[in-house]
Homo-oligomer: A and B are copies of this chain.
């Protein structure tokens, strides 16, 4: 089988907001301003940022990703959580039940988010066509091999398939920095049952 190589996309801490929270933070009926498109179709980084306020510290300049979502969601790296004093679980995007909340400050107001803070599960976005080509299914897990002096293996890479997805392995800044990875770097990925026997 052809070896699958995928580009790394490094996610800095960011926030997705509901329209209700956009209104509360930026003023009623406010519309976010697109700064640049992201690799995933229809997703974009906004000009606007917010300040996160935790029990132990604050982080200003947290980028908003658009468009508005049904529920607000804050995605942090573990390093950020120590600074803020929150202890979110590792979760797939959208799976927010029982996650901690946080205070969010915008130019026009404050929002107390009841829940929605997570550390995102590392995941691989993939089109239906690529999934078919590489015999992979939505929801299965892969390993990604990292070469170099700080090399190793990322286990538990969740495959997310959608007709509109572009091939992109999303990791956070802690994961990138630990393994010395840069945006766009190509990594080989393998099914867990492939030639690697490192499951524990």
Q: Is A156 in the interface zone, CB < 8 Å from B? A: yes
User: Which chain A residues in 112-160 approach chain B with CB under 8 Å?
Assistant: 119, 121-122, 143, 145-147, 149-156
Q: Does A180 contact B (CB under 8 A)?
A: yes
Chain B residue nearest to A190 (CB atoms) is B198
A→B interface (CB under 8 Å): 77-79, 82, 90, 119, 121-122, 143, 145-147, 149-156, 172-175, 177-180, 188, 195-198, 200
| Selected contact of A149 from candidates B152, B153, B156, B198, CB within 8 Å | B156
Contact residue among B121, B150, B156, B175 (Cβ-Cβ distance under 8 Å from A156): B150
Asked if A152 and B150 sit within 8 Å, CB to CB, the answer is no
Between A155, A179, A180, the greatest number of chain B beta carbons within 10 A of the residue's beta carbon is seen for A155
User: Assembly of this chain: how many copies?
Assistant: 2
Distance (whole angstroms) from the CB of A100 to the closest CB of chain B:
16
Q: Which one of B78, B79, B151 lies within 8 Å of A155 (CB-CB)?
A: B151
Contact B78 A79 (CB under 8 A): no
A152 to B, closest residue via Cβ: B155
What B residues does A119 contact at CB under 8 A?
Answer: 150
**Most B CB within 10 A of own CB, among A77, A143, A173, A178:** A178
> How far is it, in angstroms, between the C-alpha of A90 and the C-alpha of B179 when the chains are bound?
10
Of chain B, the residue at the smallest CB distance from A80 is: B177
Contact of A152 among B152, B195, B197 (CB under 8 A): B152
